[in-house]
Structure 1
């Protein structure tokens, strides 16, 4: 089995750090998971890595790390009165040190690693891939949406030596970020789910978003046996295909992709379809949540898992037993009301998908409770107004909009002929009006960008109904 410890010499070499208050001859071995950036989680024997952010400085917590049992810390500055049993590794940049350590460990792992990026569906596809592969392999994955320059390296450091495959989510909100993450992760299989408006306020154009996601491709091109998995129905797939010299696998619904779905049934709170292997061979799949977008999520996972020779029958069984990530398209009952909880995040395309799915749910009036879509920049007002128009066009019975751009959503809906369209600056005001409006059997879609925390309204309703 691979040696799963870092020596002090290796840490100094990888981080290009300077050792303080300890001899380099001292024999110290640390497991990757003992490198900790959060003093709330420090355990005896850990090494504290003091990150800096806009609102915090990890070096303010070095004393706390020592009191909780840390044996040392990786820091940028040296202005501490050190106990004799506590050492420092001083580096130029603690974030880069974390990333360098994670990259070093990833190279030690020597296992195939799958990187998932795209505008929508990243977390679900990552979770699906890990869930299916775990039927045949020992699999490591990033937790939740640990997909940025801190979360991804921390995820890698939690991988155990016995893992046979790793699955990571790669996120971004600026150019160059996917390149940094890919350099750390060195993926053997890359998935680009789709390209949409997410982060357009920071990126400026859809093309710039596509180019940012494409930063993973050169790392896949390093080996012609690596794979790039693409959505055949996405308009940017041709752009990505031209950049790739590695193997390409596609998935989709409307075109002749390598992995294609047919006979789609999106009723009863579940999505059912057939994987079309050939004209005669069809494999049934049954996903436990609604939405056509989930067909694409499952197809992406099928495409990846086929690379690792997982039988289709095994995939089908695993998909049926899959539990969606928290706050992702969850169907639940709340007293006499039906909740469609997709409150984890939102952008224009995912909002439209959720609204279309809402309208296919059986029974009751359809009420959309929508929070702001963030990071849309100069497009914010027009895209929120378009959202209101779209909601009205698909036939929702009412909109309850919350946030800075709630009035844009409401005005768009009103212009499209929806009478019951309300906007609110506070969740409390929205909730009070909602209680006087909803009836037994109604369906309530709850969705908004992460910072809006629209799930608070579900908690308020649950508390009210007891």
Structure 2
């Protein structure tokens, strides 16, 4: 079946399902494959509730309710492309090594003050999540904000072809997913695929003027700058970052060269967020810049940023019965680890403890990057104690701390035995480490 024919079926059954357990009436099941599963095996179960099943195994297609295609994933992506082309709304793509989900959430919150906004749910940001997100677009939305993640070169280019962004933002570039990329230069090249797409398609990029890497990545002709520099369209000043980030901002419209022309006194341009870590200043300012570009009123930008409360273990400030926790355990890589630790050094608190889990998906450089981080922490000589957990850290243990643990089970047992009390604790590690499981012991 070709895409135009499938699109007609989609219009009558506008819900997409990839999990047979979540199938529902008037939906289409796509039999996707993974390393440990084959969706074709579940198509019959899905059809007990849904209308059609798109499969790529001829032996499964035993009736006209099975739609046989060459590749179910490619068909899903091509269907999403066809659907995207039905809309002329602005689509803002958000990518970057760190902060893309938080920035996506903040942008959506800000734009939501003036528009009906579609936003990627959670971190549905890969080759499956993006087409699923695009297929949820309807004419009721004014703007879409689509998060894009990448594990290897070419990923962002592929996602841009599906979502066809009119605007875009790269939050930053750093060391992450090196297992798939190989080098930092490849990461820059891959993230820069968003700029390449916008350049060719006359799109607009929002660029952090203070980030030297982003300017080197050849932004498109239409560029709106933000940052602390006065040579920006949206300029900010960090006021505080402990415990929460607050900042002031101004909109110059055009780049201003005379400092006396700038008025920082407007109370509606002072923001107190519920996010910890100075790196969230950049995320907040990015959302401010986008909101300003789309003519969201200053007061509404302020209200949106101040009402946003993080969840999912991203930059969360938690008070337990015994300690203060900074939980940044959704993900970790060498760049985000260093930024979080540097911020924690400046955090206004006594008895500061680090509890760090392995950084995953670093490939051949994993041991080296963990060793660099350990020495960085040793040289700081700032914290009351440091707890390391995971194979990578455990294999590099030295005598600067006695707290080296192979897994969470061992660390949990230690925390039950020797409890931490009246401490301020940074809890950070890669998603696969599930560092939030330690919270009940802290």
Question: Does residue 70 of the first structure (1) align with residue 70 of the second (2)?
Answer: no
Task: Give the match for residue 97 of structure 2.
Answer: 119
Task: Give the match for residue 232 of structure 2.
Answer: 257
1:271 to partner: Cα distance: 0.7
Q: What is the rounded CA distance, in whole Å, between the counterparts of 1:156 and 1:29 in structure 2?
A: 13
Task: Give the match for residue 150 of structure 1.
Answer: 128
Task: Give the match for residue 13 of structure 1.
Answer: 2
Contact 1:125–1:298 (8 Å) recurs in 2? yes
Task: Give the match for residue 313 of structure 2.
Answer: 327
Which deviates more, 290-299 or 74-83?
74-83
Structure 1's unaligned 5+ residue stretches are 1-11, 18-23
Contact 1:142–1:169 (8 Å) recurs in 2? yes
Q: What is the rounded CA distance, in whole Å, between the counterparts of 1:365 and 1:66 in structure 2?
A: 58
2:72 maps to which of 90, 94, 106: 94
Contact 1:140–1:165 (8 Å) recurs in 2? yes
**3-state secondary structure, aligned to 1:346:** coil
Q: Pick closer, same or farther for the CA change 1:421–1:110 going to 2, 3 Å.
A: farther
Task: Give the match for residue 163 of structure 2.
Answer: 185
Task: Give the match for residue 400 of structure 1.
Answer: 387
Q: Pick closer, same or farther for the CA change 1:329–1:382 going to 2, 3 Å.
A: same
1:244 to partner: Cα distance: 2.0
1:201 to partner: Cα distance: 2.8
Structure 2's unaligned 5+ residue stretches are 252-260
2:351 maps to which of 365, 374, 384: 365
Contact 2:354–2:427 (8 Å) recurs in 1? yes
2:283 maps to which of 291, 297, 311: 297
Task: Give the match for residue 266 of structure 1.
Answer: 241
Question: Does residue 197 of the first structure (1) align with residue 175 of the second (2)?
Answer: yes
Residues 24-423 of structure 1 mapped to structure 2, 5 A cutoff: 30=11, 33-67=14-48, 69-80=49-60, 82=62, 87-224=65-202, 226-241=203-218, 244-245=220-221, 247-253=222-228, 256-267=231-242, 269-277=243-251, 279-282=262-265, 283-394=269-380, 395-407=382-394, 410-411=397-398, 414=399, 419-423=400-404
Q: Pick closer, same or farther for the CA change 1:430–1:134 going to 2, 3 Å.
A: same
Contact 2:227–2:236 (8 Å) recurs in 1? yes
Contact 2:167–2:198 (8 Å) recurs in 1? yes
Q: What is the rounded CA distance, in whole Å, between the counterparts of 2:359 and 2:230 in structure 1?
A: 30
Q: What is the rounded CA distance, in whole Å, between the counterparts of 2:52 and 2:100 in structure 1?
A: 36
Q: Deviations over 1:48-102 (max 9, x none)?
A: 11111111100000111122x222211112213736xx51221111111000111
Q: What is the rounded CA distance, in whole Å, between the counterparts of 1:399 and 1:376 in structure 2?
A: 22
1:262 to partner: Cα distance: 1.5
Q: What is the rounded CA distance, in whole Å, between the counterparts of 1:194 and 1:15 in structure 2?
A: 38
Q: What is the rounded CA distance, in whole Å, between the counterparts of 2:284 and 2:179 in structure 1?
A: 29
Q: What is the rounded CA distance, in whole Å, between the counterparts of 1:143 and 1:349 in structure 2?
A: 25
RMSD: 2.2
Q: Pick closer, same or farther for the CA change 1:396–1:62 going to 2, 3 Å.
A: same
Q: What is the rounded CA distance, in whole Å, between the counterparts of 1:409 and 1:115 in structure 2?
A: 39
Question: Does residue 444 of the first structure (1) align with residue 431 of the second (2)?
Answer: no
Which deviates more, 272-281 or 147-156?
272-281
Q: What is the rounded CA distance, in whole Å, between the counterparts of 2:13 and 2:285 in structure 1?
A: 34
1:303 to partner: Cα distance: 1.7
Q: What is the rounded CA distance, in whole Å, between the counterparts of 1:120 and 1:61 in structure 2?
A: 36
Contact 2:13–2:28 (8 Å) recurs in 1? no
**3-state secondary structure, aligned to 1:82:** coil
The TM-score normalised by the length of structure 2 is 0.91
Q: Deviations over 1:301-351 (max 9, x none)?
A: 112222211122211121011112411011112211111111000011111
Contact 2:205–2:224 (8 Å) recurs in 1? yes
Q: What is the rounded CA distance, in whole Å, between the counterparts of 1:360 and 1:275 in structure 2?
A: 23
Q: What is the rounded CA distance, in whole Å, between the counterparts of 1:193 and 1:297 in structure 2?
A: 7
1:237 to partner: Cα distance: 1.9
Contact 1:271–1:291 (8 Å) recurs in 2? yes
Q: What is the rounded CA distance, in whole Å, between the counterparts of 1:167 and 1:132 in structure 2?
A: 11
Q: Pick closer, same or farther for the CA change 1:138–1:439 going to 2, 3 Å.
A: same
